[in-house]
Structure 1
Amino acid sequence: MDRDTSPHRAHSASGAVPALLLAVDQLLDEFTRLPGQARFRFDPATPAVVTVEFLAERGPGPVRRLGRELLFRGLATMSGGGDVRMWPTQREEQPSSWLLLESPELEALFELPTAPLAVWLDATYRAVPAGAEPDGLDWDGFLLELLEGPGVPSE
């Protein structure tokens, strides 16, 4: 899992990284696993965030937006806090990580295969290196919208 953290590295021409479809297990309890799939998507316009859709057999599945850095760190060590955490498992036969998603209504624990996720995350860091996430943001437009937004008195 090597990623270039140099802010001087140029973004790829398109920044496009294909979606990753992973076979995942939801751990319902100590002995029960529910196999499923999760689709990971990366948009270079919002590079700090990875969109994960947990695919359901029927209808749309839940979608979560997770920090790219949280996912990357969670492949090797405990990462995250609060309602999203990820850490590597101790299984030797196939390296994996656990992803815990919590909310007031729900708690879900997923086991993700480490190798394909690591390769995919590396591709996202080649498209937009760590530290370069704010480079593509329109700061002037954001500040203008913030300053001229509703509720701001005009003179």
Structure 2
Amino acid sequence: MTRGTEISNAIIASLEAINPAGGYLTDAGTRVHVGRADHLDDTQAAEFPAILVRCVRDGVGASQPKHVRHVREIAVEGYVFPDDPDYEAVMDALAEDIHRSLQPQGTRSVLGGLAIELDIEGAEYVHPEPGSRLAAVTYAVTVQYATTYINDQQ
């Protein structure tokens, strides 16, 4: 498994921990999806809030022989069903839960030591257009990590 995949999996695991029993405001951690958003189009209101995670890019930064620094950008999108007139309060709670689950706190290392640095940009709110079934809050998560190649064949 690549280090980039390990990082994506660590982010997914952090998001799956979101539930009120853990002190979070929502139970969105029980509905974390990976990949494309189009499969959320057919979901019912009871299946929200939900979270979608996908890698946007994985660029190569500074490198030395056998050592490469990567910058991986992951989109973390929280979706709510805007059937409640106060759906924005649910978006606020979901945004707080997502940020809290990903932000290293106290002595917790960055993604269990997999990453050098993690940056979470401010949340972008996407309100539903007429006829749309979903509202979303999106975070761009940028992770810097290093890989070491053991031999010249990699």
Q: TM-score range by the shorter chain?
A: under 0.3
- TM (norm. structure 2) is 0.25
**Structure (1/2) with the larger helix percentage:** 2
